[in-house]
Amino acid sequence: MKLHHRVDGPAGAPLLVLGPSLGTTLDIWHPQLSALTQSWRVLRYDLPGHGGSAPATSGLTIDDLARAVLDLVDETEDAEDGEFAVGGISLGGAIATAIAAGRQRAGRRGRVRSLVLCCTSARFGEPGPWLERAALVRASGVTQLAPVLAARWFTAGYDGRWVTDMLERVDAESYAACCTAIASCDLTGRLAAITAPTLIVAGADDPATPLDQALTLAQGIPGALLRVVPGAAHLASVERADTVTSAIVGHLGGHSGHAAGMRTRREVLGDAHVDRAVAATTGFTRDFQHLITRYAWDEIWNRPGLDRRTRSCVTLTALVARGHLDELAMHVRAALRNGLTPDEIGEVLLQTAIYCGVPAANAAFAVAQRVLADVQAEED
């Protein structure tokens, strides 16, 4: 399967691969192109039978489409450094999710360095309606869907005619084949395998991939960040282009360390603790929260020189030495999550009695004993 594509941006820049939604072409990314090509070499592709791509000749699956996109990556010289970013809208987002989950990557170069998912889902509802739409399109063509799709793609009153006009460049059989791929798509069980920093963009008024589907992605992909765009339906990247462009540029650029740090922070401290910290963030504390997420949890905790068990031992010792008992309680729980046993935590604290002082160790044992008892009670 050979997909029509276009590459824009400076030679030598990192590669970013972007996929369109069902019924649209690579031009759907035009609102973001100028901003993204300042730092990225952007590869946009057309789905089979859409825009300039040849029609589909048989049934399709999400993995078939993912392999076709990876063929484009392998043909692009910018992929030689072994890393690329990938994203997509709706069906394009599902393709990007499948690529990031890695099932198709055996024997291929590279890995996904960042993931952007716009108004998409791990599972697009029951297969019946999609198969019915495929039959309808085969019988009556694609353009007759324009009024229905416009109402799903945009909120009332928004003029997105330049997007619905793309339907005129879509082959009916290929559209139906893509509907079949969507009908059989269920990536829910593969989300946990995604390791790339991930941004999820959801339209607050999206009837096609509602917010609960975005939440499934956010909860299933470790460390994923969810951005809900108000006043936008299914094609939020068109209807609220400035907002979505800013979020994507921030994720791919200077804030990528924040995404990686947030993922590690959740893995070490647990979702409940991090959710409380995020909920308590104010305008006054936001910059500080970003600082510790980027520099403590990404720049330090994600360094390869020490494993997390060792980093927990170092952290416990430092907190005892400085008398930071509230932080010590949090990191006793973190040490358990990082694989230390209660006895090993006790050994660390016992050694601090020699090097940090008996009074400091005495206070630390009291804190640790209380935390370990609480953890045991929670497990019982």
Integer CA distances (angstroms), 359 to 155, 313, 353, 368, in order? 64, 19, 8, 14
d(CA 333, CA 262): 17
d(CA 143, CA 23): 9
The answer to whether 265 and 293 are in contact (CB under 8 A) is: yes
Question: What pLDDT, on a 0 to 100 scale, did the predictor assign at position 292?
Answer: 87
d(CA 172, CA 182): 15
Per-residue pLDDT of the chain (380 residues; tens, 9 = 90+): 899 999 998 877 889 999 999 999 999 999 999 999 988 899 999 999 999 999 997 789 999 999 999 999 988 754 444 689 999 999 999 999 999 998 655 444 457 889 999 999 999 999 999 999 999 999 999 999 999 999 999 999 999 999 999 999 999 999 999 999 999 999 999 999 998 889 999 999 999 999 999 999 999 998 899 999 999 999 999 999 999 999 999 888 744 566 678 778 888 998 888 888 878 877 788 778 878 887 899 889 988 889 999 999 999 999 999 999 999 999 999 999 999 999 999 999 999 999 999 999 999 999 999 999 999 999 88
The answer to whether 282 and 230 are in contact (CB under 8 A) is: no
Q: For 52, which DSSP code?
A: T
d(CA 248, CA 115): 10
The answer to whether 336 and 368 are in contact (CB under 8 A) is: no
The answer to whether 348 and 338 are in contact (CB under 8 A) is: no
Triad 90, 91, 92: Cα angle to 5°: 90
pTM, entire model: 0.68
Q: Is 230 helix (H, G, I), strand (E, B) or coil?
A: coil
d(CA 324, CA 332): 12
Question: What pLDDT, on a 0 to 100 scale, did the predictor assign at position 109?
Answer: 45
Question: What pLDDT, on a 0 to 100 scale, did the predictor assign at position 210?
Answer: 96
d(CA 329, CA 231): 42
Mind listing the domains of the chain with CATH numbers?
A: 5-253 (3.40.50.1820), 262-300 (no CATH), 308-379 (1.20.1290.10)
Question: What pLDDT, on a 0 to 100 scale, did the predictor assign at position 244?
Answer: 96
